[in-house]
Homo-oligomer: A and B are copies of this chain.
Amino acid sequence: MTAGTPRLSGQPTIVDVARHAGVAVSTVSYVLSGKRTISAGTRDRVLSSIRLLGYHPHAGARALASRRANVVALVLPLRSGIQVPVVMQFATAVVTSARRHDHDVLLLTSDEGPAGLRRIAAGALVDGILLMDVELDDARVPLLRELGRPSVLIGLPADTTGLTCVDLDFDRAGDVCVDHLARLGHRRIGLLGAPAAVYRRGTGFAHRTLSGVTRGASRHGVDVVSTPCEESATDVRRTVADLLARGVTGLVVQNESAVGPALAALAELGRRVPDDVSVVAICPDPFAAQASPMLTSVPVPAEEIGRQAVTLLMAKLAGEPVPETTLLPPRLTVRDSTAAPGGAPR
């Protein structure tokens, strides 16, 4: 055993690997990065030394020398009215896809605000930024432009110029729901919306759903009654009762945490689904599938959106051009909660 460097940290460094494999440090680096051709023999020798020594490159050193941290920031909302499971699905999809691109994910919460973004970006801790829960007029958007780091928004602000955004096409989703109900014969449709605070903040998806619903309704010449709705069971019950009182026979529920309570409220009010009232949900699929009856729904493809966002970000990091906005088309899944009004089978 030849005496080596006194490896203070305990971890082997690239120097140890090079010495062990009998090559230059730069050669090891090129084996790892593949940025220059290396003979098969050398490569194998280096790789086995790496495995043998249990070498892992030092992330900081790499970031310093290469100006790439291989980390992306994910900024999550923490606010009231957010849809926790959806957010979680996004997050896990993002982490998984990022890993597939050899990147890690740094978690930020939006309550540290712009200062946090600035710190992260300027400190070269991350190469790119993923921003969730974007508002129509979001304070972080100008900052993002200023920082000049590649970024992708999940959600749509009012002005998308120069940005990259991904989201479900909530507008068309709203339309599709109404379309489905209208075709079944419903003439008065209710939208059980997001909490009022969400509309007030100008969160894109809520507004877009509403506009889609409205458009679909006017196209079909049916009425639409839309009302925001808080998350508490009490408020959901009141809102549902209110909508029914106003003659609604088809219900579009876009607040996933309201789905369960809404069904409970209908049961309590003695209305059968779908015989008396039809329900379409815009929510993650498992929710719709686990409810009883199983819900006709437009699933929010959180996972796919997360994946897309990462893919787009990676493209930007690689300097490739990407489209400004990517809207995923809604797909309506018909299950057991919708039927023609008045109990006729669909």
Contacts and interface: CB of A to CB of B under 8 A. Distances in A.
Nearest to A286: B231
A60 B64 contact: yes
**How many chain copies does the complex carry?**
2
B125 A104 contact: yes
Contacts of A118: 56
A93 to B, nearest CB: 10
Interface in A266-308: 267-268, 290-292
A96 B109 contact: yes
Interface string A237-251: 100000000000000
Judged by DSSP, the binding face of A is: helix
A235 to B, nearest CB: 9
A233 B288 CA distance: 11
A105 interface: yes
Nearest to A86: B84
A181 interface: no
Contacts of A96: 109, 111
Contacts of A260: 233, 260-261, 264
Contact of A59 (B92, B125, B263, B268): B125
24 contacts: A11-B122, A54-B122, A56-B122, A58-B124, A59-B60, A59-B63, A59-B123, A60-B61, A71-B125, A78-B92, A84-B84, A84-B85, A84-B88, A88-B88, A99-B112, A104-B106, A104-B125, A105-B107, A232-B292, A233-B291, A233-B292, A234-B292, A260-B264, A264-B264
